[in-house]
Amino acid sequence: MSDLLPCPFCNGEAEYCLGDDGPVICVECNATAPEDKDWNRRYTSSEWQCVPKEPSFQMLSADGCASDHGGKGCIHHENRKRIWSAMLSAAPKPGDA
C-alpha cells in the first residue's frame, strides 16, 4: 500500500476501493484509477493539460456566445461537443511514443 495523493481534479481525499490495494477512488468527485501508481502519476509537462471528457457550458461558451443567447446553449454548442469528442479520441495519451 502506498500513500495516495489528493485527487488531481478536485483535490479530494482518495481511498482504495478494495481494502489496501487495487482500484482507487476519490471520495469527493468519484474519479477513479485502476491502481495507486496510476492515481499518483502527475503530468507536469507544459504540453499536457487535464480536461474533462465532456465540456462544460462555460467551456462551450468561452468565446462569449453565452451573452448572445441569454445564457442558453445554441446550435454551435452541439457542434463544439462533436469536435471536442473527436479531438479527445484523436489526442495522444500520456505515455504514447
Q: What CA–CA distance (Å, rounded) separates 10 from 44?
A: 17
- Give the pLDDT confidence score for residue 2 in this predicted structure: 65
User: What confidence tens digit (pLDDT) does each residue in 69-79 have?
Assistant: 777 778 888 99
Provide the pLDDT confidence category of residue 96 given band limits of 50, 70 and 90.
low
User: What confidence tens digit (pLDDT) does each residue in 37-68 have?
Assistant: 889 987 666 667 778 888 888 888 888 787 77
DSSP, res 92: P
Per the confidence metrics, is the pTM higher than 0.95? Answer: no
Q: What CA–CA distance (Å, rounded) separates 97 from 76?
A: 34
User: What confidence tens digit (pLDDT) does each residue in 13-42 have?
Assistant: 999 988 777 899 999 988 999 989 889 987
